């Protein structure tokens, strides 16, 4: 989640998100270099005393400043394309979680082992404890085992929603009448937050997503407890 | 400005045709107009656009007319100028320069300090805008939610650190878990 002092993206909890962060840092570095170069050129043009009325062309420098941006773009494009294909890799998930977006809550189903279904409502501000995060905490969190590939199948019951967790680099639209699938892996334990990302009515800002990443043993006991409810 | 250009060209068109023969004893009206504008100053070249105007510019250095009308002294110096320049004293060289030109390069390229007025005025206007912005923010202020109170923020921060949120480069990476305090 975003905390104080978070200027750009939060730290990643998944290897794909790490790669996205690296690509972002790489592209931003290139952008910053270009900005500094252009800023310096503009400043030096502003303050110089050069004076020549008959300047028409300079073939060499024109060649350079046409080819150079193309080269820079190649430096950005190659890592970007590599990551693009990496995100679409096929893998073999261990656990499948189904999520359905409603107005205005998410419901989750774990049907691999036992028939577990539950709803996840935001904790209203007037029922919050001191330590709760306003507009982010929910009553029932999704639990998943870490270091295991998770398959998420997302759909909606009424209008468009979008299921997202920024630290995992995951965002998928929940479309009624359609099943969208995404696969991810968490490489650390913790609690990860997200918020509905497709306008869906009055309480669109009040249907967050909370995922708890736990050890496989804890996950099995959680499944066991939930299936008895 | 376009109107002025039109009037000027109309005047020069009106000045033609030049009368020939005995009728041409009267001088050229176009030349009269020029002389009325610049007085007795000598036209010495093309200048910027062929018009007999004086200007000081570093990129088009030589104006079309001299700066001052030629007096007897200057005419004398002009004759001396046709000989060896090493015979001219510094004062004479300066007099010749000032007869042809109003300002030296360093004089017309000297900084005017105009930027200070412009930057100052802009900053004053920006500060007025900021005052307006602050006024709107003060008038439309809404109380913060409960969760912004100091104790609740402390509780939330404690929970953030316990959860190891952003442990790589974010907030939890600045916390020393062994000492239970921020890293020094």
pLDDT in tens, A41-75: 999 999 888 888 888 999 999 999 999 999 999 99
Q: Is the same domain home to A30 and A117?
A: no
Tell me, yes or no, whether A125 lies in a domain: yes
In A, which residues are within 8 Å of B147 by CB distance?
Answer: 125, 128, 132-134
pLDDT in tens, A9-36: 899 999 999 999 999 999 999 999 999 9
Cβ pair B165:A132 closer than 8 A: no
Q: Residue B3 above 80 pLDDT?
A: no
Q: Which residue has the tokens 């969208």?
A: A180
Q: Are B78 and B66 in contact (CB under 8 A)?
A: no
What span, in angstroms and rounded, lies between the C-alpha atoms of A165 and B177? 26
Domain of A198?
A: 95-228
Q: Is the same domain home to A76 and A133?
A: no
Tell me, yes or no, whether A53 lies in a domain: no
Tell me, yes or no, whether A5 lies in a domain: no
Tell me, yes or no, whether B114 lies in a domain: no
What span, in angstroms and rounded, lies between the C-alpha atoms of B99 and B76? 12
Tell me, yes or no, whether B89 lies in a domain: yes
Residues contacting residue A153 through CB under 8 Å, at least 6 positions apart: A96, A97, A98, A99, A179, A180, A181
**pLDDT for the residue numbered A163:** 97
Q: Is the same domain home to A124 and A221?
A: yes
Give yes or no for B45 touching A (CB within 8 A). no
Tell me, yes or no, whether A9 lies in a domain: no
Q: Is the same domain home to A111 and A176?
A: yes
Interface probe with A: pick from B106, B145, B166, most Cβ of A within 10 Å: B166
- By Cβ distance, the residue of B159, B160, B170 closest to A11 is B170
Q: What is the mean pLDDT of residues A5-9?
A: 84
Q: Which residue has the tokens 């060209």?
A: B9
Q: Is the same domain home to A118 and A208?
A: yes
Distance from CA of B162 to the nearest CA of A (A): 9
In B, which residues are within 8 Å of A188 by CB distance?
Answer: 164, 167
Q: Is the same domain home to A189 and A217?
A: yes
What span, in angstroms and rounded, lies between the C-alpha atoms of B107 and B171? 59
Interface probe with B: pick from A11, A46, A124, most Cβ of B within 10 Å: A11
Cβ pair A130:B156 closer than 8 A: yes
The number of domains in chain B is: 1
Distance from CA of B176 to the nearest CA of A (A): 17
CATH number of the domain at B94, please.
Answer: 1.10.442.10
Q: Is the same domain home to A120 and A165?
A: yes
Triad B8, B10, B15: Cα angle to 5°: 100
Q: Is the same domain home to A157 and A219?
A: yes
Tell me, yes or no, whether B49 lies in a domain: yes
Q: Is the same domain home to A115 and A198?
A: yes
The number of domains in chain A is: 2
Domain of B46?
A: 30-109
Q: Is the same domain home to A100 and A164?
A: yes
Give yes or no for B57 touching A (CB within 8 A). no
**pLDDT for the residue numbered B33:** 87
Phi, psi of A111 (to 5 degrees): -115, 10
pLDDT in tens, A135-155: 999 999 999 999 999 999 999
Distance from CA of A10 to the nearest CA of B (A): 6
In B, which residues are within 8 Å of A133 by CB distance?
Answer: 147, 156, 159
ipTM: 0.89
Tell me, yes or no, whether A51 lies in a domain: no
Tell me, yes or no, whether B8 lies in a domain: no
| Chain A CA closest to residue B161 | A3
Give yes or no for B150 touching A (CB within 8 A). no
Percentage, residues of chain B above pLDDT 90: 73
| Chain A CA closest to residue B163 | A190
Asked, as a colleague might, if the bond just before A104 is cis with ω within 30 of 0, I would say yes
What span, in angstroms and rounded, lies between the C-alpha atoms of A160 and B164? 33
Tell me, yes or no, whether A135 lies in a domain: yes
Tell me, yes or no, whether B130 lies in a domain: no
CATH number of the domain at A193, please.
Answer: 2.60.40.420
- By Cβ distance, the residue of B145, B163, B166 closest to A125 is B145
pLDDT in tens, A100-130: 999 999 999 999 988 999 999 999 999 999 9
| Chain A CA closest to residue B60 | A53
**pLDDT for the residue numbered B21:** 52
Tell me, yes or no, whether B75 lies in a domain: yes
**pLDDT for the residue numbered B6:** 74
Cβ pair A5:B170 closer than 8 A: yes
Tell me, yes or no, whether B175 lies in a domain: no
pLDDT in tens, A164-201: 999 999 999 999 999 999 999 999 999 999 999 999 99
DSSP letters, B113-178, are: -HHHHHHHHHHHHHHHHHHHHHHHHHHT--PPPGGGSHHHHHHHHHHHHHTT-STTTSGGGGEETT
Please count the residues of chain A.
229
Residues contacting residue B174 through CB under 8 Å, at least 6 positions apart: B182, B183
In A, which residues are within 8 Å of B167 by CB distance?
Answer: 11, 188
Residue (of B17, B11, B13, B14) closest to B37 by Cα position: B11
- By Cβ distance, the residue of B147, B169, B171 closest to A134 is B147
In A, which residues are within 8 Å of B158 by CB distance?
Answer: 131
């Amino acid at each position: 989640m975003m905390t104080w002092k978070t200027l750009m993206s939060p730290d990643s909890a998944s290897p794909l998100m790490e790669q996205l962060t690296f690509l972002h840092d790489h592209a931003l570095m290139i952008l910053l270099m270009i900005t500094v170069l252009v800023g310096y050129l503009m400043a030096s043009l502003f303050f110089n005393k050069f004076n020549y009325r008959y300047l028409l062309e300079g073939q060499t420098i024109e060649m350079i400043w046409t080819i150079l941006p193309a080269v820079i773009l190649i430096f950005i494009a190659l890592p970007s394309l590599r990551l693009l294909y990496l995100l679409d890799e096929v893998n073999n998930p261990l656990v499948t979680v189904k999520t359905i977006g409603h107005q205005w809550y998410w419901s989750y189903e774990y049907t691999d082992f036992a028939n577990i279904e539950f709803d996840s409502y935001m904790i209203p501000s007037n029922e919050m404890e001191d330590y709760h995060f306003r507009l982010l905490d929910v009553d029932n969190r999704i639990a998943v085992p870490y270091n295991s590939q998770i398959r998420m199948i997302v759909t909606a019951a009424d209008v468009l929603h979008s299921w997202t967790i920024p630290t995992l680099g995951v965002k998928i639209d929940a479309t009624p009448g359609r099943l969208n699938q995404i696969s991810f892996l968490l490489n650390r334990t913790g609690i990860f937050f997200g918020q509905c990302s497709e306008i869906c009515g009055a309480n669109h800002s009040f249907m967050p997503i909370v995922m708890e990443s736990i050890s496989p043993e804890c996950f099995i006991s959680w499944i066991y407890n939930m299936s008895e409810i | 400005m376009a109107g002025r250009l039109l009037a000027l060209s109309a005047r020069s068109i009106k000045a033609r045709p030049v009368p020939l023969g005995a009728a041409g004893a009267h001088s050229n009206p176009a030349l009269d107009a020029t002389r009325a504008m610049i007085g007795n100053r000598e036209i010495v070249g093309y200048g910027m656009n062929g018009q007999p105007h004086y200007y000081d510019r570093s990129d088009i250095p030589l104006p079309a007319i001299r700066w001052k009308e030629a007096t007897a002294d200057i005419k004398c110096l002009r004759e001396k100028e046709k000989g060896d320049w090493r015979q001219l004293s510094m004062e004479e060289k300066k007099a010749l320069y000032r007869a042809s030109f109003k300002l030296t390069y360093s004089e017309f390229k000297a900084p005017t300090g105009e930027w200070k007025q412009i930057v100052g005025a802009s900053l004053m206007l920006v500060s007025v805008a900021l005052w307006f912005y602050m006024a709107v923010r003060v008038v439309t202020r809404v109380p913060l939610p409960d969760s912004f109170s100091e104790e609740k923020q402390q509780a939330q921060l404690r929970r953030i650190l316990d959860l190891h949120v952003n442990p790589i480069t974010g907030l939890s990476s600045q916390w020393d878990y062994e000492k239970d305090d921020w890293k020094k």
